[in-house]
């Protein structure tokens, strides 16, 4: 099984592990890291979309200290499989999802559309803190490891 981490859960982990965070934030972030390691030891892939990596690059560029932020990002990325956004497999899913959501007036945002399409193309389960948004995507397999490890 591939577990594709959404950007929000990865940022939660990244911020929670930084020094100076409240003990509860650090504990929750560490629990998430430990869960990822258990899933990997069980033989499953814990992965990121190239779309998420792109969002993290943008976030680092918006920080006060790009070099420190991108260094932290690279450390967080190291243990994960990273999947390129496949130009053949992903677009049909993107088109279908966007059409269905816009027809209902239930858009989820362009980056989340790309990540959802990527999850479908990989037949992955999308791990996110924001399941209410992704629940709008029919048939998308999701999980929130902060609530239901």
148: pLDDT strictly greater than 80:
no
Domain positions in the chain are 2-143
**Structure-block tokens of residue 94:** 């993107």
142: pLDDT strictly greater than 50:
yes
The SS3 of residue 127 is strand
Strand extents, DSSP E, 55-136: 81-83, 125-127
Note the pLDDT of residue 15: 83
In whole angstroms, give the CA distance from residue 89 to residue 26.
Answer: 37
Q: For 93-140, write each residue's pLDDT tens digit.
A: 999 999 999 999 999 999 999 999 999 999 999 999 989 999 999 999
- Annotation: CATH topology of 2-143: Rossmann fold (3.40.50)
Q: Which residue has the higher pLDDT, 127 or 147?
A: 127
149: pLDDT strictly greater than 60:
no
Residues near 45 by beta carbon (within 8 Å), at least 6 away in sequence: 1, 2, 3, 81
* Strand order, beta sheet including 45-49: 81-83, 45-49, 2-5, 125-127, 142-143
In whole angstroms, give the CA distance from residue 63 to residue 69.
Answer: 7
Q: For 9-59, write each residue's pLDDT tens digit.
A: 998 888 887 766 788 888 888 899 899 999 999 999 999 999 999 999 999
Q: For 59-86, write each residue's pLDDT tens digit.
A: 999 999 999 989 988 888 889 999 999 9
pTM > 0.85: yes or no = yes
């Amino acid at each position: 099984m591939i577990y594709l981490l959404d950007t929000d859960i990865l940022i939660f982990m990244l911020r929670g592990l930084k020094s100076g965070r409240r003990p509860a934030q650090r504990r929750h972030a560490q629990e998430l890291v430990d869960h990822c390691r258990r899933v990997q030891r069980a033989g499953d892939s814990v992965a990121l979309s190239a779309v998420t990596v792109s969002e993290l690059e943008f976030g680092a560029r918006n920080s006060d200290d790009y070099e420190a932020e991108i260094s932290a990002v690279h450390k967080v990325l190291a243990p994960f499989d990273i999947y390129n956004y496949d130009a053949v497999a992903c677009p049909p899913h993107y088109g279908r999802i966007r059409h269905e959501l816009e027809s209902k007036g239930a858009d989820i945002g362009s980056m989340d559309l790309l990540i959802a399409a990527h999850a479908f193309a990989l037949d992955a389960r999308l791990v996110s803190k924001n399941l209410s948004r992704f629940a709008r995507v029919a048939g998308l397999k999701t999980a929130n490891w902060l609530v239901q490890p």
